[in-house]
Structure 1
Amino acid sequence: MLKNENLAYYCIIQKGKIWLENKTLPLRNMADNTLSTISSRVIGRFNGYLVYWLEADDNNDPANFYGLRELLHIEPALFDLAGRAIQLSYMLTQQRHCGRCGNKAALHSEQLAMQCQGCGVMDYPRVSPCIIVAVRKDEKILLAQHPRHKTGMYTVIAGFVETGETLEQCVAREVLEETGITVSNIQYFASQPWAFPSNLMMGFTADYASGEIKPDYEELTDAIWADADHLPQLPPQGTIARRLIDHTLSFSSSPYND
């Protein structure tokens, strides 16, 4: 049951960024919206309130539009809905033409999909499957640094699933390609929608099997084994990467883990 039909969460998207008030999603009356928008759709519910996706035009001041990472502190379910809005906005720009006949496509009047204005084919949001894996070696975890991490942050290994590849095969391949390490005992952990811009991160844990660290310097700037007492800067709380790291280090330090 809705708590207050006059109040709702609003995910207002402009050029891949989201409107925030006091660094969080606005919960307010639709009549209070002063931004210029071109469409509005309900994309879910959270805590008894409707959640709307509003697509803004380009005439709004960009000062109050932020990247999705600014919302990592909110409840995961609401964060995922904000990510859904960003992914749907991405669909508008990336799927604006039909892949079958080349005619223009437009947002369907009822479904969250693009419909060709020529042949009528429906084109739904495209999701790119990715793996992310924490590799254990005794009391240590395999961490890597990417060139894009200018602050010195280290994280776990991740990569896109290739055509015809299982998730487990992808885990083993990505770890081997990026670090030279082979793994065993690959186990599913959890998943997280990751709208940067349209990924689904599927998390795994794995055990070290063999090899010495040999970073692929086209992908990484460094790779290390780290224990809980000697950790570099890590991904922020709210990310599946941080959940994997915390879980792995907690498991490794358990007195019941022989």
Structure 2
Amino acid sequence: MQPHHPDLEFASNAPAEADGPALWFVIGDGRLLVCEDPALPLLPEAPHLGLFGLDDLPPQYLGRLRQQHCYAVALDDTSRVPAGFYLEQLRRLLGQLDEMTFAMAGRASQVVTWHRNHRFCSRCGTPAHNHDHDRAMTCPACGYTQYPRISPCVIALVTRGDEALLARAARFPARFFSCLAGFIEAGESAEQAVHREVWEETRLSLGPLRYYASQSWPFPHALMLGFHAEYAGGDIEVDGEEIVEAHWWHYDDLPPIPPTGSIARALIEDWVRRRRGRREET
């Protein structure tokens, strides 16, 4: 959801020389290395990871955050976590990290996961190596090049007047509700995917859609395309497997919803703000 900003620059090729301490995004077991001491910076900052005993780990350049160079590192042996640090799930850092730092952390997580999963050519099985210029893995035998995978998804807040449709997926904690979401299938447009997902999960039909924003969602490599959708007809019927509960909720009486920093939360808050503004106008 973060628009282009000069303080957040993604890049693949590291500079020949870098001034000042870098910001290190160390990923171990899908979690991010963070500092235990709240009085210190949350993430490791140093010219190199030798200060943390991790100088043997190959870095992947990410770009710059507020003019500071950023690197991702895979910590395959989690017993090597430096003293004073611990590994935290990235989801738990939503709302704790500012939006640009979370975006860079998400980039780090995706780069590390992709690199680990593409060490061999998916066409012929030969060990692959890093591309000379791009963020890619190249096969020396057949020449096939593999780029980081991005999976497009849609997420929609369906509304009818002062009420919004919020659902609880089977994987959600009890009484936690969110917007409907799903992956875009081969050959689909984003708009078609919204209509299909809502129909499959609730048997509701939709009227006009309005694109809201997108968000990189590193769990593990999704790009969320957010929409506002108007209810057109039907009664709620959940499948009981993927979606176990769905209801209409008034904007002044919402259940527990996703945390700040997620596009689901942003969709809901945007709708609530507009409904309350309309009430004040009348």
Q: Provide the TM-score with structure 2 as the length reference.
A: 0.84
Partner residue of 2:19?
A: 5
- Gaps of at least 5 residues in structure 2 are 1-5, 8-17
Superposition map of 1:1-258 within 5 A = 5-22=19-36, 24-30=42-48, 31-35=50-54, 37-58=56-77, 60-61=79-80, 64-72=86-94, 73-255=96-278
- From the superposition, tell whether residues 141 and 165 of structure 1 become closer, same or farther in structure 2 (CA, over 3 Å): same
Query: Match of 1:26, as an amino acid?
Result: P
Query: Match of 2:61, as an amino acid?
Result: V
Query: Match of 2:43, as an amino acid?
Result: L
Q: Cα distance, 1:61 vs. partner?
A: 4.1
Q: Provide the TM-score with structure 1 as the length reference.
A: 0.91
SS in 1 for 2:243: coil
Q: Is the 8 A contact 2:22 2:68 kept in 1?
A: yes
Query: Match of 1:145, as an amino acid?
Result: R
SS in 1 for 2:191: helix
SS in 2 for 1:64: strand
- From the superposition, tell whether residues 15 and 117 of structure 1 become closer, same or farther in structure 2 (CA, over 3 Å): farther
SS in 1 for 2:265: helix
Partner residue of 2:14?
A: none
Find the aligned partners of 1:111 and 1:123 in 2 and give their Cα distance: 10
Q: Cα distance, 1:242 vs. partner?
A: 0.3
- From the superposition, tell whether residues 230 and 8 of structure 1 become closer, same or farther in structure 2 (CA, over 3 Å): same
What is the number of equivalent residue pairs in this alignment? 257
Q: Cα distance, 1:59 vs. partner?
A: 5.3
Q: Is the 8 A contact 2:28 2:78 kept in 1?
A: no
Identity %: 36
The worse-fitting range, judged by mean Cα deviation, of 160-169 and 52-61 is 52-61
Query: Match of 1:188, as an amino acid?
Result: Y
Find the aligned partners of 2:187 and 2:157 in 1 and give their Cα distance: 23
SS in 1 for 2:212: strand
Find the aligned partners of 2:224 and 2:214 in 1 and give their Cα distance: 5
